[in-house]
Amino acid sequence: GDFNFYSLLWDIFGRESTSTPFLLTLAKRGQLTLCTPSGTITRAFKGNQQAYISTIDHFWASTSLESIYKGVV
């Protein structure tokens, strides 16, 4: 999903959002694993946008599922 959180786990610029620990706590409670590889760019510049590239779309899976990340479509 599109969380708009930054974390050292996935942000190539080393940014950390204040809400990230909450998200990671929820993921741990739900036994979710982040499957999006660190540094994957899911938001890039478009047209005249002035923003950082970032990883705002994450692929999470329960630990009971075997998953393979196949990139951004």
Q: For residue 31, what are the contacts with CB-CB under 8 A and spacing of at least 6?
A: 62, 63, 64
Q: In the block, which residue shows the tokens 């705002």?
A: 56
- The tens digit of pLDDT for each residue in 25-40 reads 988 998 888 887 777 7
- Lookup result for tokens 């660190």: 38
**2-33: per-residue pLDDT in tens?**
567 788 888 888 888 898 899 899 889 988 88
Q: Is the pTM of this model over 0.75?
A: no
Kindly write down the DSSP assignment for every residue of 22-72, as one continuous string. HHHHHHHHTTEEE-SPTT---B---TT-----B--B--EEETTS-------
